[in-house]
Amino acid sequence: MPKNILHMLTPHKHVSPFDVNQALDAGYDSVTPYENVELDEVSDLVQDVIFSRPPDHGVNSAMFFGGDDAVLALDMIDAAKGALVPPFTCNLMADPAGSFTTAAAMVAKVEKALKEKKGVQLKDTTIAVFGATGVVGYCAAVIAASEGAKVKIVGYSGVDRVKKRADEMKERFGVDVEPVDGSSDEKNSQIISDVEVILSAAKAGIQVLSKEQITKAPKLLVAADVNAVPPVGLEGIDVMDDTVKIDGCEAFGIGALATGVFKSKTEYGLLRQMIEAEEGQVLDFRHAFELARKLVDEG
Ligand SMILES: NC(=O)c1ccc[n+]([C@@H]2O[C@H](COP(=O)([O-])OP(=O)(O)OC[C@H]3O[C@@H](n4cnc5c(N)ncnc54)[C@H](OP(=O)(O)O)[C@@H]3O)[C@@H](O)[C@H]2O)c1
């Protein structure tokens, strides 16, 4: 039997130890890190991988793209896809900073909470995403908008940077999201007064909304936070809260670790999907959401 070999690429100084552990636990026989990789180096690396094995062993090789930039990781996947020379192939997967699987798990958890606790579909909600210039918030916004929700991306430093992100999302994924100015507590309270869902994906250890702000949001149905480092992003939602009613209002809260369990299961599941594949897989945050949704549904 050919060995299952994973080549793990990052544009940074280190690959993520989290991803290395996940890959070996999922069943890879070997994981090799490639660091400081630039976009124009991807094609040569892919062709070195695919031509080393006969075509029918192509699916036993895989390339994983890390880093902390969703767009760069997707560009690397595109470059890798373009370098395949059928029938020579390999599997390709991106999950920069765990963001694709984290965003997928967060949106899947929110979708289930909306359905089960409020009888509401994700597509019928308006969502405010905090931290959308970051890699997790960015993906969560694209996934939610792709599912039909009305998404606002909140810029804590004003509207300019989130406007650029919104333009990029439109160009790359064809989704419309609204950039909004969240540069003060008053502006944030105004933004959340009009949404059914809050997704908080801001930097670790940063509180973005107080309990008072959250409990006063009149239409709020579900709020989810992925920051597990104190103080949490949404005050009053504990990291362990798994669709728990928020004290002081009728909305439900989902904490970082309740999402984290499904983030890990999703990453593990995508890695297993590559190991078990009979043809080359190309896996990004859309596949992560598909799998996260299934895993969350199964409970
Ligand atoms: N639970 C899980 O399974 C899991 C897995 C992975 C990550 N995470 C968590 O997910 C969160 C986002 O991760 P990431 O990798 O996307 O982080 P990131 O790249 O550091 O992005 C964080 C976002 O927060 C913004 N931000 C920085 N300071 C802020 C402030 N004072 N107020 C509001 N927003 C602020 C950043 O803006 P700038 O553009 O200015 O930097 C960016 O938009 C982190 O809390 C991380 O720990 C959770």
pTM of the model: 0.97
pLDDT digits (tens, 9 = 90+) for 58-75: 999 999 999 999 999 999
Residue 11, pLDDT score: 98
Q: Which residues line ligand 1 (CB under 6 A)?
A: 68, 97-99, 102, 131, 133-137, 156, 201-204, 206, 208, 226-228, 256, 259-260, 263
How far is ligand 1, taken at its centre, from the CA of residue 72, in Å?
Answer: 17
Q: Which domains does the chain show, CATH number per domain?
A: 5-94 (3.40.50.10280), 99-259 (3.40.50.720)
Residues of the chain with pLDDT under 70: none
How far is ligand 1, taken at its centre, from the CA of residue 157, in Å?
Answer: 14
Alpha carbon separation from 175 to 28, 105, 147, 148 (Å, rounded): 36, 20, 10, 9
Q: What is the CA 44 to chain-centroid distance, rounded?
A: 28
Mean pLDDT, the chain, rounded, equals: 97
pLDDT digits (tens, 9 = 90+) for 106-162: 999 999 999 999 999 999 999 999 999 999 999 999 999 999 999 999 999 999 999
